[in-house]
């Protein structure tokens, strides 16, 4: 009987505390349950990222860093291998930017920014939050800690990202997260989600170039090692990758990330699942 492989990887950002891998694992479980219930792969991926936005320990959603004027501006995006893409940039006052990005992906637009993104989210009835509800994590804000997810569901792939950006950046600063092919990319050969210094990631068109390595048949573990080597040690960078050949993740500093896999047959028999890894990886290593 034909089997369908489900693979979910979630990360808490380059520089995130590896002790927070419980949060990435829970987000992965949320995604798996969504896939099992028959949700489209891009929706399941966004559910994982929304769970990370709600965690409060990561730099996204209620855990977002503040700009140098005390405001919270967030970027988020989602993409799937069917060619769906949507993103928001410098969104303010909404609890789950990734859900707004998902709604954008279903509209006539691809990226909405600033005041227009806020109005769009309000018109769509997206859940709001107030600045005082942003979690005081007390984390080391020299790190970045954005969140992301990549998913394989049979022959379909998806990815999503969300971030509060760089701590104390000027209002209006936008990094790699909402830029297709920079922070994320998904296609028929796999999905890629990155984290780290957004300006450097964007200038290297990192996610698309990583995806092109998958297209050429490179194993995800080799892709992770190759792409991490594109970045200086002093530049925070992390990446998670899934393809039909496997999965991998890694960073040039600590990163909470987890992966799980499930094999279900398409007739709905009891699935077999296993957690494949959790915790932190050092430079150049992958799992
Ligand atoms: N890449 C994000 C940004 O530059 C930050 C991060 O990944 O932590 O906005």
Which segments within 126-168 are labelled E, that is strand? 147-153, 156-163
For residue 15, give the ligand 1 atom closest to its CA.
8
Q: How many angstroms is it from 267 CA to the middle of ligand 1? A: 40
Q: How many angstroms is it from 183 CA to the middle of ligand 1? A: 8
Give CA 76 to chain center in angstroms. Answer: 8
Which of the residues 24, 144, 146, 206 is marked catalytic? 146
Domain architecture of the chain: domains with CATH: 3-69+139-278 (3.60.20.30)
For residue 146, give the ligand 1 atom closest to its CA.
8
For range 218-225, the mean pLDDT: 98
DSSP SS3 for 148: strand
Pocket (CB within 6 angstroms of ligand 1): 13, 59, 144-146, 163, 165-166, 175-177, 183, 195-196, 198, 201
Q: How many angstroms is it from 117 CA to the middle of ligand 1? A: 19
Contact call for residues 13 and 238 (beta carbons, < 8 A): yes
Q: How many residues does the chain have?
A: 287
Contact call for residues 163 and 59 (beta carbons, < 8 A): yes
CB-based contacts of 9, cutoff 8 Å, min separation 6: 28, 149, 150, 151, 193, 240, 241, 242, 247, 249, 257, 258, 259
pLDDT tens column, 154-174: 999 999 999 998 888 899 999
For range 187-193, the mean pLDDT: 98
For range 104-108, the mean pLDDT: 98
For range 29-40, the mean pLDDT: 96
Minimum mean pLDDT range among 87-101, 157-171, 186-200, 201-215:
157-171
- Ligand 1, from 196, 231, 256: best to mutate by most atoms within 8 Å of Cβ? 196
Sign of the CA dihedral with 136 first, then 50, 256, and 141 last: negative
pLDDT tens column, 118-143: 999 999 999 998 766 676 554 444 45
Largest CA distance in the chain: 58
Question: So what's the pLDDT on residue 145?
Answer: 74
Residue with tokens 């594109």: 230
Question: So what's the pLDDT on residue 167?
Answer: 81
Question: So what's the pLDDT on residue 282?
Answer: 35
| The model's pTM | 0.92
Q: How many angstroms is it from 182 CA to the middle of ligand 1? A: 11
For range 55-81, the mean pLDDT: 92
DSSP-assigned states of every residue in 35-104: HHTT--HHHHHHHHHHHHHTTSSSSSGGGPPP-TTS---EEEEEEETTS-EEEEEEE-SBS-HHHHHHHH
pLDDT tens column, 246-276: 999 999 999 999 999 998 765 554 555 566 6
Q: Kindly report the number of other CB atoms within 10 A of residue 77's CB atom.
A: 34
Q: How many angstroms is it from 107 CA to the middle of ligand 1? A: 25
For range 66-88, the mean pLDDT: 94
Contact call for residues 13 and 63 (beta carbons, < 8 A): no
Average pLDDT, the chain: 90
For residue 174, give the ligand 1 atom closest to its CA.
9
Q: How many CA atoms lie within 13 A of 258 on its CB side?
A: 23
Smallest Cα–Cα separation from 87: which of 174, 12, 10, 24?
174
In the structure, what pLDDT confidence band is assigned to residue 284 with cuts at 50, 70 and 90? very low
For residue 197, give the ligand 1 atom closest to its CA.
4
What's the distance, Cα to Cα, between the start and end of the chain in Å?
29
Contact call for residues 145 and 122 (beta carbons, < 8 A): no
Residue with tokens 């929304």: 50
Q: Kindly tell me if the per-residue pLDDT of 218 is higher than 70.
A: yes
**Catalytic annotation present for 195:** no
- Ligand 1, from 164, 176, 193: best to mutate by most atoms within 8 Å of Cβ? 176
């Amino acid at each position: 009987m034909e089997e369908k492989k489900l693979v979910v990887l979630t990360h808490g950002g380059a520089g995130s505390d590896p002790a927070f891998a419980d949060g990435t694992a829970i987000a992965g479980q949320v995604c798996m349950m969504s896939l099992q219930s028959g949700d489209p792969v891009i929706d399941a991926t966004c559910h994982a990222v929304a769970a990370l936005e709600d965690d409060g320990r990561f730099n996204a959603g209620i855990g977002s860093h503040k700009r140098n004027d005390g405001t919270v501006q967030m970027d988020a995006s989602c993409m799937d291998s069917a060619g769906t893409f949507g993103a928001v940039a410098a969104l303010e006052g909404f609890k789950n930017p990734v859900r707004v990005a998902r709604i954008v992906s279903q509209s006539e637009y691809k990226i909405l920014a600033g005041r227009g993104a806020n109005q769009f989210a309000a018109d769509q009835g997206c859940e709001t939050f107030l600045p005082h509800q942003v979690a005081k994590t007390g984390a080391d804000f020299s790190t970045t800690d954005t969140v992301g997810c990549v998913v394989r569901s049979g022959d379909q792939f998806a990815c999503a990202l969300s971030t509060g950006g760089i701590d104390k950046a000027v209002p209006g600063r936008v990094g790699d997260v909402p830029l297709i092919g920079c922070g994320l990319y998904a296609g028929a050969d796999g999905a890629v989600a990155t984290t780290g210094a957004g300006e450097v990631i964007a200038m290297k068109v990192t996610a698309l170039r990583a995806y092109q390595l998958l297209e050429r048949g490179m194993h995800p573990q080799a892709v992770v090692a190759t792409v991490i080597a594109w970045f200086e040690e002093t530049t925070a960078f992390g990446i998670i990758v899934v393809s039909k050949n496997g999965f991998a993740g890694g960073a040039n500093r600590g990163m909470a990330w987890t992966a799980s896999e499930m094999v279900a047959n398409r007739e709905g028999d009891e699935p077999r699942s296993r957690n494949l890894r959790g915790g932190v990886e050092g430079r150049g290593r992958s799992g």
